[in-house]
Amino acid sequence: MLDIKDFSIFENHSNFDFKGFLIKIASYWKWFLVSLIISFAIAYQVNIRKEKIYAMQTLISIKEERNPFFTSNTSLVFNWGGASDQVNNISTIIQSRSHNELVVSKLQFYIDYFVQGKYNLIDSYGEVPFYVNIDKAKGQLANTLIRIKFVSPSEYEIRISFENNSVSLVTYTNNTYNNTAVQPIEFVKRYKVGEQVSLPFLNWKLQINDNPGFYTGNEYFVKFNDFDGTVSRYRGVSITSDDKSGSILTLGLQGTNKARMVEYLNSTVKMLIKIQLDGKNQFATNTIRFIDSTLVSMESQLKQTGNELKTFRKDKNIYEIEGGGAKVSDKIMDFDVEKDQVTRKITYYNSLKSYLNNSVDYSRLPAPSVAGIEDPNIVVNVSKLIALSTQRSEMAYAVKSDKIFKDFDNQMRAVKNVLLENIASAKESLLTDLAMVNAKIGQAESTVKRLPEEQQELVKIQRKYDLSDNIYTEFLKKRNEAEIVKASNLSDVHFIDSAKDIGGGLVGPKTSVNYILALFLGILVPLLFIFGIFFVNNSIQNADDVSKLTQIPLIGVIGVNKDAVNLAVFDKPKSALSEAFRAIRSSLQFLYKKQEVSGSKTLMITSSISGEGKTFCSINIATVFALSEKKTVIVGLDLRKPRLSEEFDIKNEAGVVNYLIKQNSLDEIINATQIANLDVILSGPIPPNPSELILSDAMRELILELKQKYDYIILDTPPVGLVSDALELSQYADVTLYIVRQNYTKKDMITLLNTRVKRGELTNASIVLNGYENKAKYGSAYGYGYGYGAYGNGYHDEVEKISFWKTILNKLNKK
């Protein structure tokens, strides 16, 4: 039946020995030192090998600039759409792919120029004495270093190392790639400066810059990069707005070459100004384009009517003919001009309605003023539709959000619907006006019909000519207005501070951060290693481990035996190890006295498993008793795995087994040792039934006989964690010593020991910690100060310990 004590195995498993963990950390100080040296060395190498990172900035403002020529009398009206969202629009344009493609292509920043630095290649844009003019329509060697060495001021050498049978070429006109065959050798060839290089993998002319300085004998590198990859890098231009004024933007760029960044920032702003001004001029440009196409047809019509009028006047008395119909002609002319104005408006509205219904790109709409339309609703909405359409097309390459495009589409749809309603209402009014003008023209034409035939013919021809001339003149006037507006437009983007290298600007590498990171990693790596060891290792580390796991007293701590033999007390009686056994002897005598044991005293020594130093402790405890002139005997009761014969160099021919089976008497199995007052009884031959022999009455007789002959009887028993022999022998023992070994005995074994003690299977038990090394690496230097530290000097024969640094110095001196 299970006893409640059987469940004590689950006790004390959740305790964390924080103090022991800290001391274990301290014991690995050499690991921390090595780790820190390595990490700081790596950080130093990283810092000296990394190129310096600089940050360049340019400051721009966004302010809506209204054209000074826009007045109430200007028939060409243009509205950019307000400044409410221009900052966001311009920020989007700056980071758009299409915008950066224009800048990269203009600056040819897909070409890198390098010089060899101490540790790596250095971007030397703006510092190399030359530049290359490439043929964009032909393939260039992609992503491969081209070595250039100037053998003279006018001659250079190209070196290219080919590793494969083919290389990749990039053609920058359409940004496409293809391959060409090469020989896997180092290509070397010389060219004159300015000479056309035409190779299957290279097409350029190398030109020398103005004021190049001395460059003969110097070596440089050129590399052609992927166009899209280059554009992607420069799309990372940072944009921040001023907290006090949202219309002021700071554009920033980081990189290793300040000249390249300055050039790019200034060029991107200039390109932005051009794009923004082109957008502003789009309305005027559309109008001029429409007027130019109209003037071409009007010019031919005016020429034709002029020729008709000239032909009619030939050989006629024109003054007599004109006299009769001049007044009527002037009156009809006014009506014709009025009709043309109404007709042009109706035609524009029809064209605009058709365009709105059949197209989705409204950026090319001509201004309503071309047709003489001054209705503010029409003018404003047309200009707004052009601006939205232009802005949407610019964002197509930069914005991937469908929601933003849907918002634009919804805005344009709303403006288009308003325009269609405006067109419908305006056309109704114009059709009424047209009917009235036609009526007036009909009355005037009836008057003309009463004139003589020649006067009617003149009025007809003059009417056509004057109308064409009037329309032509009107269109010329509007074209001039459009040109004036276009020329006087100002961009809403202005430089406040252009990018400029004035020194400084260094932002990296963050050497201090690298060293802090090195410090952190130098501590963390060994710490994690120790943490793993601490938690994976479930063995007894120190005296505190024992005291936390059990209430059984710890009466001694035995140090590590560093000698080849186990007779430590006999060989070195003045050592610290010997003193540890003497301390145990004193504790045992106290226990015997406390239990009022008189006469012969029995001590059983056992452990959890083999290898914990049970036999070693038995021999040396027995030795300290023998050296105190007490007759002592060690009885080898580990019948399954005897070891005493090896320690004393005695043949294991007769022993306990022989006595228990009545084969030999006690005197026949007792062996004297080289230690005075110390005898040993070996286990004898290994029996088939060791447990039964121990349980026999012969064992009791053996103990009784020994008590008659010896003062101290040391029973060296098998481990209780493996067999039950020791439990059967505990009835003969006055005191039981349970041996645990540092860094070897598992903590669970102590829990099992608690269970056996609580159930009474082991009585009068005490614990000895064996194999204890007074170093935090293996456990705790607290609790039991065996080894005596500085106080041990003069009392023990200890081997002098050489420090770590002294060892290194000795090795250096030998060299």
Convert the pLDDT of each residue in 612-665 to its tens digit.
888 899 999 999 999 999 999 999 888 888 888 888 888 888 888 898 888 888
DSSP per residue over 466-509, as a string?
Answer: HHHHHHHHHHHHHHHHHHHHHHH---SEEEEE-----S--EEE-
Residues 700, 18: Cα–Cα separation, whole Å: 48
Which of the four pLDDT bands, split at 50, 70 and 90, describes residue 85?
A: low
Classify 550 in phi/psi space as left (phi over 0), alpha (psi -120 to 50) or beta.
beta
List beta partners, residue 602.
713
Residues 391, 408: Cα–Cα separation, whole Å: 9
Residues 185, 309: Cα–Cα separation, whole Å: 83
Q: Which is higher by pLDDT, 386 or 518?
A: 518
Tokens representing 70? 């826009």
Least confidently predicted of 301-315, 667-681, 689-703, 783-797: 783-797
Of the chain, the percentage scoring pLDDT greater than 90 comes to 27
Amino acid at site 92: T
Q: Which is higher by pLDDT, 763 or 263?
A: 263
Classify residue 719 by burial, with Cβ atoms within 10 Å: 0-12, 13-18, 19+. buried
Tokens representing 298? 């009007």
Residues 490, 394: Cα–Cα separation, whole Å: 20
Residue 802 has φ and ψ, to the nearest 5°, of -95, 130
**Which DSSP state fits 799?**
P
Domains for the chain: give ranges and CATH numbers: 111-225 (no CATH), 286-488 (no CATH), 543-814 (3.40.50.300)
Residues 26, 222: Cα–Cα separation, whole Å: 54
pLDDT, residue 570, reads 85
Q: For residues 639 and 657, is the Cβ–Cβ distance under 8 A?
A: yes
Which of the four pLDDT bands, split at 50, 70 and 90, describes residue 794?
A: very low
Which of the four pLDDT bands, split at 50, 70 and 90, describes residue 193?
A: very high
- Decide the pairing of beta strands 554-559 and 765-772: parallel
Strands lying side by side in the sheet with 121-123: 121-123, 111-116, 219-224, 146-152, 155-161, 186-192
Residues 666, 706: Cα–Cα separation, whole Å: 8
Tokens representing 537? 């290792």
User: What digits encode the pLDDT tens for the residues 580-621?
Assistant: 899 999 998 888 888 888 888 999 998 888 888 888 999 999
Numbers of helices and strands, H then E, in the chain: 24, 25
Residues 237, 101: Cα–Cα separation, whole Å: 13
pLDDT, residue 373, reads 77
Orientation angle between helical segments 376-395 and 282-313, nearest 10 degrees? 130
Strand residues in 504-553 grouped as ranges (E): 506-508
Tokens representing 235? 């799309």
Find, among 658, 655, 680, the residue nearest to 567 by Cα.
680
Residues 743, 771: Cα–Cα separation, whole Å: 8
Mean pLDDT score of the chain: 79
Distance of CA 183 to the CA centre of its chain: 40
E strand or H helix at 581, and its extent? helix 576-594
Find, among 588, 631, 632, the residue nearest to 734 by Cα.
588
Name residue, tokens 């106080």: 791
Q: CA 404 → CA 93, 165, 236, 392, 410, distances in Å?
A: 14, 48, 21, 9, 10
Tokens representing 598? 């008189």
What is the chain's Cα-based Rg? 54
Q: Which is higher by pLDDT, 375 or 331?
A: 375
Please state the pTM of the whole predicted model.
0.55
E strand or H helix at 156, and its extent? strand 155-161
Tokens representing 742? 């540092």
Residues 460, 58: Cα–Cα separation, whole Å: 67
pLDDT, residue 345, reads 78
Least confidently predicted of 10-14, 563-567, 708-712: 10-14
- Please check the confidence at residue 5 and state whether its pLDDT lies above 60: no
Tokens representing 769? 């910690």
- Please check the confidence at residue 443 and state whether its pLDDT lies above 70: no
Q: For residues 157 and 149, is the Cβ–Cβ distance under 8 A?
A: yes
Greatest mean pLDDT among 519-533, 719-733, 781-795:
519-533
DSSP per residue over 743-780, as a string?
Answer: TTSBHHHHHHHHHHHHTTSS-SEEEEEEEE-SSTTTS-
pLDDT, residue 807, reads 54
Orientation angle between helical segments 402-448 and 318-358, nearest 10 degrees? 160
User: What digits encode the pLDDT tens for the residues 360-405?
Assistant: 777 667 767 666 777 777 877 887 777 777 777 766 554 555 666 7
